[in-house]
Amino acid sequence: MPRSERPKIGASVLARKVRKKLGEILVGDGVVEESAIATCETEARESGKRLGEVLVEKGFATEIQVGSGLARQAGMDFVDLGTAEGSGLVDLSLVDEEIVRKHCVIPLSSDSGRLRLLVHDPMDLEMLDLLRFRLPQEFDLVVGVKSQMMDWIGEGGAATVGGGGGEAGPDSIDVTVDKSVDSSVDSSIDSSIDVDAGDSKIVRLVNELIVEAVRGRASDIHVEPRDDRVELRYRIDGVCHVRQSLPKRNQSAILARLKLMSGVNISERRIPQDGRIKLPIDGAQVDFRVSTCPAYHGESVVLRVLRPDSVQIGLPSLGFEPDNLELFNKIIRRPNGIFLVTGPTGSGKTTTLYSALNVLNEPNRKIITAEDPVEYNFNGINQVQVRESIGLTFPLILKAMLRQAPNVVLVGEIRDREVGDIAIQAALTGHLVFSTLHTNDAPSAITRLVDMGIKPFLVASSIQAIMAQRLIRVLCPKCKRLDPNPDRKLLSLVNISEEEIAGGEIHEAVGCAACNGNGYRGRMAIFEMMVMNAEVRELAFERASISKIREAAIRGGMRSLLGDGKLKILRGITTPVEVARFAQIEGFDPSEIGAA
């Protein structure tokens, strides 16, 4: 059959091409009698085996005859690896060994340059979907004999992962449902939906995408139903990348599997739900915070990847310049007062505060946190999760916490006046309080608290420091290079002079295999640290404008987000485009310079 006429991989195409049953084909070829087909079909139904397997076991047909019949049934070529011609086509170097051994497929050489895969069951649509997910290129299918293929791969090879490298593979993942979000959800799971069978291809597919995302440094996994497909996206270094489109027919099973793993109600599709998953991947325990939300084409599911090592990397690795790091260490060791970290969602506020708690977590200090939700678990720290559904709110937790005689208190977020008032009272009565706010910069936090209704003199007297932060991408160390002709207009926007250009090391993003062609690998923060000195406190008490507070803070030694980013540009850590995107520069238009 000409290659252009071969069917593409997919259920609808295969369904159109199938005209006869396997039994009819073999009877028509004179291989098997109709009575034998009827007997074997009955046994196949009772045992759950394929008809071809039963025919071979009973001796009514050979594996080659069955394989040839399957190939004709699907409209594909058949290759006999037992012949010199067939074995000469095998080229195992074309596909990663893990895929060959795990999925029991054999790559074949091709004159056209298009990948050909030898499979023993062309009707296994779930396996074909897995291959489409794992392989970056398109491919054609060719039918072979399983026993011959196993001889090439190695006995038992199809049941192993990664060529025996010792890493936990997708089939061996032990899923743990974290019931800390809501212990009542388990009783409402619809047990009639069997998506947890050990041999389910959907289980393997979901495990594959989770493992791949973790190994690819993704911070979020987005599973988003569309009109004709299920789109899978990974957020890596703050940017979403489309990974694959999965078949629409698998949507219900994929979503049910994810919901079952996270311990939420599978049958509930009308309201958002939150859950958690714990998985051992590559020797480390990885937590996932799962959120479902009903959308037009089906429930959207997002898995936030929570790596425990991300809050144990040490304060210097967060991106602090030496002077800010010294100041930060002094502030978090003060006996009382409030330290606020501000920034938009996803700017690393939680990681910064957890890193601070990790430094302070010693036997001589009692630390209590109120969080919504608890993202990382710490030994030695009392962490309380907000549960609005039962009335366990931030104010209630805070009032109870203060009766526990803590030294350090972390409040996940100051959302309203009541929480703010209690946090301030805690600070004024001898506690060190950490919390977050959603403001654009450090000076705006003072105005935000006053706008909530908190009295200015309480704000001025209780706050020790406010730090704004953003996450910027870091240039890939393997492929970054000096920019021979940096954009002068862009450099002027980030306040880099000609003298600084000459004395600095301004680099540009290139792209290589290590960074998946992006030019960036990893992120770090830029900071704006505002210490409440006498002048800033006086302005806060007087309800001064944000601009006046900013001017006073700069006179007191505060370096802006732009100034902190500028230092990282001149040291070749990041690019002017990255800093301009996040440092709130007036007049900066990313579209004019092609910023992603």
DSSP string, 76-102: -EE--TTSHHHHTTB-GGGS-HHHHHH
Q: Beta strands of 153-270 (E only): which ranges?
A: 176-177, 218-225, 229-236, 239-247
CA 536, CA 546: separation in Å to the nearest integer?
A: 11
pLDDT (tens digit, 9 = 90+) per residue, 257-300?
A: 899 889 888 878 889 999 999 888 888 888 899 999 999 889 99
pLDDT at 19: 58
The DSSP call for residue 325 is H
By DSSP bridging, strand 139-143 and strand 115-119 are parallel
**Residues 6+ positions from 8 with CB-CB distance below 8 Å:** 138
CA 570, CA 429: separation in Å to the nearest integer?
A: 44
For residue 560, give the H/E element and its range: none
pLDDT band at 581 (very low <50, low <70, confident <90, very high): confident
Statement: the pTM of the whole predicted model exceeds 0.85: no
Q: Which domains does the chain have, with CATH numbers?
A: 22-153 (3.30.300.160), 201-306 (3.30.450.90), 311-472+523-559 (3.40.50.300)
169 pLDDT exceeds 90?
A: no
pLDDT at 585: 67
pLDDT band at 159 (very low <50, low <70, confident <90, very high): very low
Q: What is the mean pLDDT of residues 152-167?
A: 43
pLDDT (tens digit, 9 = 90+) per residue, 301-321?
A: 999 998 877 666 678 889 999
81 pLDDT exceeds 70?
A: yes
Amino acid making up residue 67: G
CA 457, CA 355: separation in Å to the nearest integer?
A: 30
Q: Which range, 93-97, 176-180, 571-575, has the best average confidence (pLDDT)? A: 571-575
pLDDT at 593: 56
The DSSP call for residue 585 is -
The percentage of residues in the chain with a pLDDT greater than 70, rounded to a whole number, is 84
DSSP per-residue letters across 239-256: EEEEEEEEEGGGHHHHHH
Pull the structure tokens for residue 583.
Answer: 């440092």
When the pLDDT of each residue in the chain is averaged and rounded to a whole number, the result is: 82
pLDDT (tens digit, 9 = 90+) per residue, 389-441?
A: 888 888 899 889 889 999 999 998 998 999 999 999 999 999 999 999 999 99
360 pLDDT exceeds 50?
A: yes
pLDDT (tens digit, 9 = 90+) per residue, 328-343?
A: 999 999 999 999 999 9
Q: Which residue has the higher pLDDT, 151 or 533?
A: 533
Bridge partner residues of 524 (DSSP): 472
Closest CA to 205 of 265, 125, 276, 114: 125
pLDDT band at 178 (very low <50, low <70, confident <90, very high): low
Q: Which residue has the higher pLDDT, 344 or 126?
A: 344
Closest CA to 167 of 286, 307, 283: 283
pLDDT at 505: 80
- The b/e string for 141-171 (b: 16+ C-beta within 10 A; e otherwise) is bbbbbbebbbebbeeebbebbbeeeeebbbe
pLDDT (tens digit, 9 = 90+) per residue, 443-479?
A: 999 999 999 999 999 999 999 999 999 999 999 999 9
pLDDT band at 168 (very low <50, low <70, confident <90, very high): very low
40 pLDDT exceeds 90?
A: no
CA 141, CA 77: separation in Å to the nearest integer?
A: 8
Amino acid making up residue 417: R
Are 372 and 413 within 8 A, CB to CB? yes
Q: What is the mean pLDDT of residues 124-130?
A: 73
Closest CA to 565 of 549, 579, 552: 579
Q: Which residue has the higher pLDDT, 411 or 193?
A: 411
pLDDT (tens digit, 9 = 90+) per residue, 43-67?
A: 888 888 888 888 888 888 888 888 8
Are 579 and 523 within 8 A, CB to CB? no
pLDDT at 291: 94
- 179-183, 222-226, 437-441, 542-546: range with lowest mean pLDDT: 179-183
Pull the structure tokens for residue 149.
Answer: 């293929």
- Give 329-398 as a 3 state SS string: HHHCCCCCEEEEEECCCCCCHHHHHHHHHHHHCCCCCCEEEEECCCCCCCCCCEEEECEHHHCECHHHHH
pLDDT (tens digit, 9 = 90+) per residue, 529-568?
A: 999 999 999 999 999 999 999 999 999 999 999 999 999 9
By DSSP bridging, strand 273-281 and strand 284-293 are antiparallel
Q: Which residue has the higher pLDDT, 199 or 220?
A: 220
CA 55, CA 65: separation in Å to the nearest integer?
A: 10
175 pLDDT exceeds 80?
A: no
CA 526, CA 576: separation in Å to the nearest integer?
A: 13
